[in-house]
A and B are shown apart, each in its own frame.
Chain A
């Protein structure tokens, strides 16, 4: 899996990272989904299409899953699923 970095100076660094690594309280846009089959369909159905804004809002007390705000709804993904979603993140 490639992690590209945008090196243009005048833009904030725009990294492609995994959804799971999105810090709590931060937003990013969906880049692509790497899952296949039913998992992919389910994610698409929930509105995780490229370009969608997602915000990491909380993590379960057990550390997994994490909850994200997607199109006005709050959806929890396990680590395995959140790993399969790549996002464009303009880091701090």
Chain B
């Protein structure tokens, strides 16, 4: 057989197929789908029997509340608030216990090293650097995650997520994007990389890109603890976990508004176009298996967070310790860098150390807070830090934080840029340097603008 003859054969076949169905006159697809469906109907008619109606139509009853004109939006807000409240309130105690335990461990380690006559830098590098950073990540991250994820999974298994998309679709339509973007955002709560992957459910490339570029505005699990801790700081002494919950919910809502606004701008400028067709199936509610959800997501999450903490936080702790302890001209590298970044930080309502923590936190958002604490502690006098009160003393007492600093850091954390993993995922999904770069630059631009405006306005008005 000579080369190419097979392809020629195919071309002839195509020509013949074309003659058999000239200009698509058979309306082939329509006719075939109709035939298949009438056969499906026939089979179903023969094999499926319904013995009357179920006693209570739970789907209808639930949907009558969860998607109703009056209760649809309030119930969404309430559910969000309840989940965060359980997370914030419930995480307090285990966080404290973990911190106490882990920092007790730190002292014992130091004693052990002292007893072994290890050089001072060993204790500094391993205990004050690596171990302390790990301890922070674990005690701050773990409890909120262990509470948030089972709650979220419960809603997911019940079938609530498509209802969110159903309720919010009109907003997304007005922003020129796809209603399923709210599903990808829900995934983003867990992890922005997962959210970006989930964007594959959006058919139109334009809308998929918008969803990918804006997924970062949903705070992922790496940023939640930061937000929660800062919210706790803000309301300390004034209100309880209830107040912190309201702040966190407010921040999340602000993220959603930003998503819509940025999506709208994108669909009017860089990614111009009209919304594509939208169909969404609302599956029946299903009873979730509460026991299994709790055990699995705690177990799975726990191991996951611990592993990631070891992989990212340990080297980060080491780097910070080195930066804080290598001096150039009598001042540590860390202080040099922070001082250099300070004017920029101040402009945005923060300081050089915070900006530096965000920069070093690019590989994973969960280490931003530990890095900040470590760099503060490396320059301060405090050694132990095992409670929110201690954090308050460190931030407010020693580093001159005001409520504006906390607010700006929360905003910056919400908006800044996706973590390295997410950027890598965006690159894999879009196969484009340009969109990957924009995925970092657009949020960064938004974050800088928002923080700048907030900080300057507040200062102008003399509120802080």
Contact = CB atoms under 8 A, between A and B. Distances in A.
Direct contact, A vs B (beta carbon within 8 Å): yes
Interface of A: 35, 38-39, 41-47, 49-50, 52, 58-65, 67, 71, 73-78, 80-81
Contacts of A61: 67-70, 72-73, 167
A80 B67 contact: no
B157 interface: no
A76 B69 CA distance: 16
A65 B281 CA distance: 12
A58 B67 contact: yes
Interface stretch (B30-38, B187-195, B260-268, B421-429): B30-38
A77 B165 CA distance: 12
Contacts of B63: 58
Give 4 closest A-B pairs by Cβ, nearest first: A61-B72, A62-B170, A39-B277, A44-B33
Nearest to A78: B278
B393 to A, nearest CB: 46
B281 A80 contact: no
A50 B170 CA distance: 28
B170 A64 contact: yes
Interface centre among B168, B173, B282, B283 (most CB of A within 10 A): B282
A74 B163 CA distance: 11
A50 B167 contact: no
A59 B282 CA distance: 12
B312 interface: no
Contact of B278 (A35, A44, A74, A77): A77
A74 B169 contact: no
Nearest to A72: B44
Contacts, number: 92
B280 interface: yes
B277 A62 contact: no
Contacts of A45: 33
A62 B168 contact: yes
A7 B307 CA distance: 73
Nearest to A50: B34
A45 B275 CA distance: 21
Given A45-B33, A60-B166, A81 B279 contact: yes
Contacts of B203: 38
Contacts of A41: 29
Given A49-B33, A58-B67, A81-B277, A75 B169 contact: no
Contacts of A73: 281, 283
Contacts of B70: 61
Contacts of B278: 65, 76-78, 80-81
Interface in B72-118: 72-73
B169 A64 contact: yes
A65 B170 contact: yes
B179 interface: yes
25 contacts: A44-B29, A44-B34, A46-B279, A49-B33, A52-B37, A58-B64, A60-B72, A60-B169, A60-B170, A61-B67, A61-B69, A61-B70, A64-B170, A65-B170, A65-B280, A67-B166, A75-B280, A76-B166, A76-B279, A76-B280, A76-B281, A76-B282, A77-B278, A78-B277, A80-B275
